[in-house]
Amino acid sequence: MSKAFIREDDIGEERVVRRPVSSLPPGEQNYLTPAGAHRLREAVAELKHERIALASPPVSADARRELQEIDHRVRYLEESLRTAEIVQVPPPPWTIVRFGAIVVVRDSEGEEARYRIVGVDEADLFPDSVSWRSPIGRALLLARVGQRVTFESPRGRVRLEILSISYA
């Protein structure tokens, strides 16, 4: 359609919506916990519901941009779910930190913290979650209760003692 037939208020600044890019290197396996996969499916359903509400006429330029962002996010999440390997909880006893573990640690100052080792696309879905590819996630994986692990953080070198391992 020619721009001559477009209302001036429909001509806004076109904003390019970039497709979200996974932080996984090409060929790297996309792991998800069962709970993470469930939450991503819920997020897709919510986004699709939001899209339906936004798409009702008349559609403003802002709404079109939002729709485009929603469409990109939905495609990204659906691709993540399609390519995911859902990792089930290992059988007890839980003496080694594996993917999906909830690990309680103590730092050198005696402060305790809890971390859940999850996939890169679900690290923002749960409190205290860390990606298995993050420095702390890599340091914790395959560690045992009582073991001390070290990793580099933005604050410098951090040493943690593994206190307990559990699964949700």
Q: What is the pLDDT of residues 7-21, one digit of tens each?
A: 544 444 445 545 555
* CA-based max dimension of the chain: 72
Q: What is the dihedral of CA 88, 89, 91, 94, to 10 degrees?
A: 150
CATH code of the domain covering residue 53: 1.10.287.180
Question: Domain range for residue 162?
Answer: 102-166
Average pLDDT per consecutive 10 residues, the chain (168 residues; last block may be shorter): 48 50 77 95 95 80 89 94 94 93 96 96 89 96 97 93 94
Query: What is the distance between the alpha carbons of residues 100 and 132, in angstroms, rounded to a whole number?
Result: 9
**Same domain, residue pair 24 and 80:** yes
Bond preceding residue 58 cis, omega within 30 of 0: yes
Parallel, antiparallel or unpaired: strands 102-107 and 148-153: unpaired
**Closest by CA position to 161, among listed 102, 92, 111:** 111
| CATH number of the domain residue 150 falls in | 3.10.50.30
Report which of 77, 62, 56 is spatially closest to residue 11, judged by C-alpha positions: 62
Residue 1 included in any domain: no
